[in-house]
Structure 1
Amino acid sequence: MEFMFPFPLPIGSISSREYAFWVIYSHCPAVVAGILLCILVYRLTACASSLLFKGYGKLSSAKRMEWNNRGISTVHALFVAFSSFYLLIMLDVFHEDSYDELIVNRSSDLSDTVLGISVGYFLTDLAMILWEFPVLGGLEYVLHHGLSLFSIILSLLSGRGQIYVLMVLLSESTTPFVNLRWYLDVAGLKNSKLYIGNGVALFLSWLIARIFLFIFIFAHMWIHFDEIRGIYALGFYSLIGVPPVLAMMNVVWFWRIAKGLFRAISKANHGN
């Protein structure tokens, strides 16, 4: 029995087997590149940190591993945030009236490449999280990465809904601030002005990129709901199911960030 894809094949009248070969040929290089880049960044983070931060060598093996892992997530976050911004704002691929094709059905070679590299990152990071569980993150990280992988892969293979996947990836712009807070904490700089300043930046960036942006995503989906409803079933349920779950996780994390920031500011004021 031939394997059947859960969505209409985007390349004319070809068989599922032919499409599977096309997927491997066109998308796997980007995924493999994403995995290899993660390995490279992990090694470079370790080398650079050992040279620039004297306390790196004194960290436990678990702390060094998390230190290097956060280097990967920082580089990925910067990459997908800038790439998503470029695709959504600078190019006209996903602009409302640029093409006759429905906006939910639009994609490009560049967006496919970005999503493929991001799949490589999430596969690598999820594998590390599960292998070292729960050192690098608990069940909420497994859920976040699992939902992200599911949505990105589905959008990449089908060519549908990429505008919303890119919008969600744009929210990764908050990750560098999250990682910097952890680095400063490990380096013993939790009471520094830099830590407080980064906390304020994290609070504001999270409010914009993970609260307001998701409100915009839901409004955009509501306006284009007829287009979303017209795509294949699995894609429809993914679009209406995954973003709300991620949004709820963002709200919970935002509450924790806000409490942590107010606690740090209060402690700093009392110290003065």
Structure 2
Amino acid sequence: MLRVEELHVNRGRTKVLQGINFAVEAGEIATLIGANGAGKTTTLMTLSGLLPISSGQARLQTSDGSYDVGATSPVDLVRAGIVHAPEGRQIFGRLSIEENLQLGAFLSNDKARVARAITDIYERFPILGERRAMPAGNLSGGEQMMLAIGRALVAEPKLLLLDEPSLGLAPQITEEIFDFLEELNREQGVTMLIVEQNAMLALELADRAFVLENGRIVLEGSGDELLNDPAVFEAYLGVG
């Protein structure tokens, strides 16, 4: 589904990504782990068209066609199926929960489909349905994360990019969010690429995993393989 080849990305004068190569197959959950500043968020922002590619290529292949990420606008990438739930959730605090969800469908003219999608989100996250008229800024961190994921799902992603879904959340809420992501993948086959600070949780969830260091991928394998790699344990899981 996604092929990234020799991808270089600069932010100002800083070379952030330095020739990374990886692939995510349809139906997989993949994760990028690494230290702060390794280039994980830059990778997701590039794949959603928010940062320009300096050289190399990223290509999305779906049943609807093939898309060169670097030559496609962010809006058209959403149409193609790449949907990004960014770090920090970035919900619109003054808008209601329902208005935030409706923004996830800004490209759709099918009001009935949008209504069904929002109803599905309320069924998955009942607390959002109960408070649908409430300003989203009044929600707790975990509830805001539910809303951010829900907003992304209303856009019907083929590839869902998630940046730090557990950031700032209590362990119990984090577990609920990850259980939901696993269920979403299993039941609906949504392909995901997740950047996550909780490396153990991410590797337990992932079919495929990549370790990013200083803008380069230095290790890759299945989630289980990296979870049991002594080097990964020492560097990212706090076990010597």
* Higher normalized contact order (CA 8 Å, seq sep 6+, divided by chain length): 2
Superposition TM-score, scaled by structure 1 size: 0.24
Between Structure 1 and Structure 2, the one with more strand by share is 2
Between Structure 1 and Structure 2, the one with more helix by share is 1
Superposition TM-score, scaled by structure 2 size: 0.26
Q: Which has the larger radius of gyration?
A: 1
